[in-house]
């Protein structure tokens, strides 16, 4: 089930990034009192009154901006508006209603999306009356907030959540493996779908971004049922869309959330670029089983060392995903294609693997005996008990005398020992340390 999306939009320097950080409870966005600091969209997850949602922070929209950076920012914001279920339109109480606000409002009206107007920088009661002129925008009751002081955020989320659509439940059997294909434009996602299905179900073109929308395609192979979720490229086709390598991330996020296994496609002909790391990171952070699929391997000039060298590059670039297997193939010629689905099945099983508690405790006890935790100011971490509390991804809780004594390097050591014992190939493993209580 994919989470609904809330986008925060508005002209530059009205405080969008500060509100974004308040909502997700983290400082992901760069906050600086200077127009145009947030260049790209940023994404996070939030929850309010039992509703989970994804939230996107956009660069400020300057309708009349002519330089390339502002064109790109405006395009990113338009994509966010296109994908969002609800839009928070932020304005500034100190500046009052501006011509630029009116221009943004006209763009939002054309989107026909539910809009909530948030009037930021209402930092004290004396400014409460400053919100009334924003009724002129025609989007209903403006909500007074202060990003600097955290006031009114609850009211804002109440209004946004109220406008979210109801999520339709998916009706796939439990034994179906849902596979999402993600990657930057023109890595061959649609070609791989067609190759796996053996028929031309998806439009394929060498123009980046010709897939118009996410498509679910069920099929069965060797008795195993699958659903392929092909993430769309960009819908619009103007020159500014064709000339950019920006990835329509929100659609990918929706597909990732619904998937059991994520195929991270890399263009074997072009190699790895920074954008590939960003895209793979979304699958990792979502805790999904993942496979690197190096496509277009048929056109790569190679010798007996080429594949090993490419594997090394992937491991060097994706240090946070050393668990993900790598498959080299060509969707066009179907070279090595038969190797993919068995790996999909394997990592799906590993993603859902549950380890018996006594086996986990034995492995961790042995690991601690071989390499005891380092002491901190004379105090040493003592792990009393270990148990797995969830699957998809496997989630393990260590009960200890003091969680603050758990250093990330020692946690990584324990994860490596657990992986050595039980594999967990293709899936992240989440480890949490909690204080042992009398109940435990």
According to the annotation, is 232 in a ligand binding site? yes
H or E stretch at 4: none
Kindly give, in sequence order, each residue whose CB lies less than 8 Å from that of residue 252, ignoring residues fewer than 6 positions away. Answer: 180, 182, 231, 279, 282
According to the annotation, is 96 in a ligand binding site? no
Which has the closest alpha carbon to 176: 136, 229, 225? 225
**How many C-beta atoms surround the C-beta of residue 326 within 10 A?**
17
Phi-psi domain of 370 (left: phi exceeds 0; alpha: psi -120 through 50; beta: other): alpha
> What b/e readout covers 266-281, taking b as 16+ CB neighbours within 10 angstroms?
bbbeeebeeebbebbe
According to the annotation, is 160 in a ligand binding site? no
Distance CA 38, CA 23 (A): 17
According to the annotation, is 184 in a ligand binding site? yes
According to the annotation, is 234 in a ligand binding site? yes
Alpha-carbon radius of gyration of the chain: 24
Distance CA 427, CA 363 (A): 19
> Tokens 């979210």 belong to which residue?
164
CA distances in angstroms from 358 to 373, 385, 406, listed in the order given:
21, 10, 22
According to the annotation, is 187 in a ligand binding site? yes
According to the annotation, is 57 in a ligand binding site? yes
According to the annotation, is 71 in a ligand binding site? no
Distance CA 271, CA 123 (A): 50
According to the annotation, is 142 in a ligand binding site? no
According to the annotation, is 186 in a ligand binding site? yes
According to the annotation, is 174 in a ligand binding site? no
According to the annotation, is 58 in a ligand binding site? yes
According to the annotation, is 182 in a ligand binding site? no
According to the annotation, is 120 in a ligand binding site? yes
Q: Which residues partner with 6 through β-bridges?
A: 55, 86
According to the annotation, is 15 in a ligand binding site? yes
Distance CA 264, CA 426 (A): 12
According to the annotation, is 61 in a ligand binding site? yes
According to the annotation, is 231 in a ligand binding site? yes
According to the annotation, is 332 in a ligand binding site? no
According to the annotation, is 233 in a ligand binding site? yes
According to the annotation, is 121 in a ligand binding site? yes
Which has the closest alpha carbon to 208: 232, 235, 233? 233
According to the annotation, is 141 in a ligand binding site? no
According to the annotation, is 440 in a ligand binding site? no
**Helices 68-83 + 99-111 axis angle, to 10:** 40
Distance CA 16, CA 267 (A): 35
H or E stretch at 196: helix 189-197
According to the annotation, is 33 in a ligand binding site? no
According to the annotation, is 9 in a ligand binding site? no
Distance CA 6, CA 162 (A): 12
According to the annotation, is 175 in a ligand binding site? no
Sheet holding 383-390, edge to edge: 383-390, 395-400, 430-435
According to the annotation, is 387 in a ligand binding site? no
Distance CA 171, CA 249 (A): 25
Known binding-site positions for GTP:
10-17, 57-61, 120-123, 183-190, 230-234, 295-298
Known binding-site positions:
10-17, 57-61, 120-123, 183-190, 230-234, 295-298
């Amino acid at each position: 089930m994919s989470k609904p999306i809330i986008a925060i939009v508005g002209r530059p320097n009205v405080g969008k990034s500060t509100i974004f950080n308040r909502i997700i409870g983290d400082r992901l966005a760069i906050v600086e009192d200077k127009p145009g600091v947030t260049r790209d969209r940023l994404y996070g997850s939030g929850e309010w009154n039992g509703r989970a949602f994804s939230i996107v922070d956009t660069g400020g929209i300057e309708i009349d901006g002519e330089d390339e950076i502002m064109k790109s920012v405006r395009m990113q914001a338009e994509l966010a508006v296109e994908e969002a279920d609800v839009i928070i339109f932020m304005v500034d109480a100190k500046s009052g209603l501006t011509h630029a606000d009116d221009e943004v409002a006209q763009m939002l009206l054309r989107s026909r999306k539910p809009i909530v107007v948030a009037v930021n920088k209402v930092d004290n009661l004396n400014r409460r009356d400053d919100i009334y002129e924003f009724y002129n925008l025609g989007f209903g009751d403006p909500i007074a907030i202060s990003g600097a002081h955290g006031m009114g955020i609850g009211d804002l989320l109440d209004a946004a959540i109220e406008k979210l659509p109801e999520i339709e439940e998916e009706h796939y059997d439990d034994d179906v493996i849902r596979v999402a294909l993600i990657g930057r434009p023109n890595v061959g996602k649609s070609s791989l779908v067609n190759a796996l299905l053996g028929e031309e179900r998806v439009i394929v073109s060498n123009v980046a971004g010709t897939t118009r929308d996410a498509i679910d395609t069920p099929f069965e192979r060797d008795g195993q049922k699958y659903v392929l979720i092909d993430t769309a490229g960009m819908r619009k086709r103007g020159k500014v869309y064709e000339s950019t390598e920006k990835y329509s991330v929100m659609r990918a996020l929706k597909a990732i959330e619904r998937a059991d296994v994520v195929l991270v496609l890399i263009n074997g002909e072009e190699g790895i670029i920074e954008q590939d790391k960003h895209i793979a990171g979304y699958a990792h952070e979502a805790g999904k089983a993942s496979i690197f699929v190096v496509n277009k391997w048929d056109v790569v000039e190679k010798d007996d060392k080429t594949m090993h060298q490419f594997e090394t590059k992937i491991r060097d670039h994706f240090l946070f995903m050393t668990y993900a297997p790598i498959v080299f193939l060509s969707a066009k010629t179907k070279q090595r294609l038969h190797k993919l689905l068995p790996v999909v099945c394997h990592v799906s099983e590993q993603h859902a693997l549950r380890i018996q508690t006594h086996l986990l405790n034995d492995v961790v006890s042995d690991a601690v005996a071989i390499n005891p935790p380092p002491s901190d100011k004379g105090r040493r971490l003592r792990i009393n008990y270990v148990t797995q509390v969830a699957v998809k991804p496997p989630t393990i809780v260590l009960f200890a005398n003091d969680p603050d004594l758990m250093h990330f390097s020692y946690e990584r050591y324990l994860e490596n020992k657990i992986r050595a014992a039980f594999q967990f190939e293709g899936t992240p493993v989440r480890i949490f340390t909690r204080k042992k209580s009398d109940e435990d």
